[in-house]
C-alpha cells in the first residue's frame, strides 16, 4: 500500500507553490507531467489542513526535481519548499503558533531550543502521518523521522530528504531567532532505519 500515509493539503500546496515561485508555471507543469502528477496542473491541493496529500506524491516531486536539476538543484528547491511549508503552517495553525510561544516560555536558550523542537515534533506528528522523534547528545539534537514521505520508496547513495532540513531550519529560526547547521546523517532511502537530521546545539549566529 502506498496511499495510506498523508501530509496535510497545505503542505502539498506549499511544495507546489514554492516550486512554482522558482520554476514558473510552465516549469512546474513540466515537473508535474514528468512525475505523473498532471492532476495538479492548475489544480493545487486545497488550502486546508485535511490529511490528503499522499507521501507517494511528496516523494515523486522530490525525485522529479532531482531528475531535472540534479542533487544540488533539488536541494535548493527542497530547502526553500521546506521553509515555505513551515511558514504556511504557522499562518494556518494560528493557535499552534501561540501555543508554541507559550510552551517555549522564557527559559535558557538551550531549554527554549529543546522545547521548540519537541513542540514541533509533536505538532508535525499530529497534523501529518510523518513520525518524528527527538533525541540528543552533547553536541547535537537529532530529529528522527521514522516514517518519511520525502524518500518514500526511493533509493539513493546519498541522503535525499532535503525538504526536512528546510522545515527544521525554519522551525528553529522561528523558535530561537537563530540559524543552526543541520545535516541529514542517515536516510531510509539509503537503507537507514530512520531519516536522521543532526542539528548543532550551538547556532551559527
Ligand atoms: Zn527520508
Taking only the tens place, the pLDDT of each residue in 142-153 is: 999 999 999 999
pLDDT at residue number 91: 79
What's the 102 CA to ligand 1 centre distance in angstroms?
Answer: 30
> Taking the mean position of all CA atoms in its chain, how far away is CA 126?
14
Instruction: Give the pLDDT confidence of 71-115 residue by residue, as tens digits.
Output: 898 888 888 889 988 887 787 777 777 777 777 767 888 888 898
What's the 104 CA to ligand 1 centre distance in angstroms?
Answer: 28
User: How would residue 32 be classed by pLDDT, with cut points 50, 70 and 90?
Assistant: very high
What's the 108 CA to ligand 1 centre distance in angstroms?
Answer: 31
What's the 192 CA to ligand 1 centre distance in angstroms?
Answer: 9
**Residue 63 confidence (pLDDT) above 80:** yes
pLDDT at residue number 56: 96
What's the 139 CA to ligand 1 centre distance in angstroms?
Answer: 22
What's the 197 CA to ligand 1 centre distance in angstroms?
Answer: 10
Average pLDDT in the 3-18 region? Answer: 90
Instruction: State what percent of residues in the chain have pLDDT above 90.
Output: 59
What's the 91 CA to ligand 1 centre distance in angstroms?
Answer: 25
Topology of the domain covering 6-200? H-NOX domain (3.90.1520)
Query: Contact at 8 Å (CB) between 10 and 84?
Result: no
Kindly report which listed range (22-36, 56-70, 87-101) carries the lowest average pLDDT score.
Answer: 87-101
What's the 109 CA to ligand 1 centre distance in angstroms?
Answer: 29
What's the 188 CA to ligand 1 centre distance in angstroms?
Answer: 5
pLDDT at residue number 2: 52
Beta bridge partners of 132: 145
Domain boundaries, the chain: 6-200
Residue 29's contacts (CB-CB under 8 Å, 6 or more residues apart) are 41
What's the 23 CA to ligand 1 centre distance in angstroms?
Answer: 24
User: How would residue 1 be classed by pLDDT, with cut points 50, 70 and 90?
Assistant: very low
Instruction: Give the pLDDT confidence of 148-180 residue by residue, as tens digits.
Output: 999 999 999 999 999 999 999 998 888 888 999
What's the 170 CA to ligand 1 centre distance in angstroms?
Answer: 18
What's the 85 CA to ligand 1 centre distance in angstroms?
Answer: 17
User: How would residue 29 be classed by pLDDT, with cut points 50, 70 and 90?
Assistant: very high
What's the 67 CA to ligand 1 centre distance in angstroms?
Answer: 17
User: Mean of the per-residue pLDDT values for the chain?
Assistant: 90
What's the 153 CA to ligand 1 centre distance in angstroms?
Answer: 9
What does the angle CA 63 – CA 27 – CA 151 come to, to the nearest 5 degrees? 15
Sheet holding 140-147, edge to edge: 131-136, 140-147, 195-200, 182-186
Amino acid at each position: 500500500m502506498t496511499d495510506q500515509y498523508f501530509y496535510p493539503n497545505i503542505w502539498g500546496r506549499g511544495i507546489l507553490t514554492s516550486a512554482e515561485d522558482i520554476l514558473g508555471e510552465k516549469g512546474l507543469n513540466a515537473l508535474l507531467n514528468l512525475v505523473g502528477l498532471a492532476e495538479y496542473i492548475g489544480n493545487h491541493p486545497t488550502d486546508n489542513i485535511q490529511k490528503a496529500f499522499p507521501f507517494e506524491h511528496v516523494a515523486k516531486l522530490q525525485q522529479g526535481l532531482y531528475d531535472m536539476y540534479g542533487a544540488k538543484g533539488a536541494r535548493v528547491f527542497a530547502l526553500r519548499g521546506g521553509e515555505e511549508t513551515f511558514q504556511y503552517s504557522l499562518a494556518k495553525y494560528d493557535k499552534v503558533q501561540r501555543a508554541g510561544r507559550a510552551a517555549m516560555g522564557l527559559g535558557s536558550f538551550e531549554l527554549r531550543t529543546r522545547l521548540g523542537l519537541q513542540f514541533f515534533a509533536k505538532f508535525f506528528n499530529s497534523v501529518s502521518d510523518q513520525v518524528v522523534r527527538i533525541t540528543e547528545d552533547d553536541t547535537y539534537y537529532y530529529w528522527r523521522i521514522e516514517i518519511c514521505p520525502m524518500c518514500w520508496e526511493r533509493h539513493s547513495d546519498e541522503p535525499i530528504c532535503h525538504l526536512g532540513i528546510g522545515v527544521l531550519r525554519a522551525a528553529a529560526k522561528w523558535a530561537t531567532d537563530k540559524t543552526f547547521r543541520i545535516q541529514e546523517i542517515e536516510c531510509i532511502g539509503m537503507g537507514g532505519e530512520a531519516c536522521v537530521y543532526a542539528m548543532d546545539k550551538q547556532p551559527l549566529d
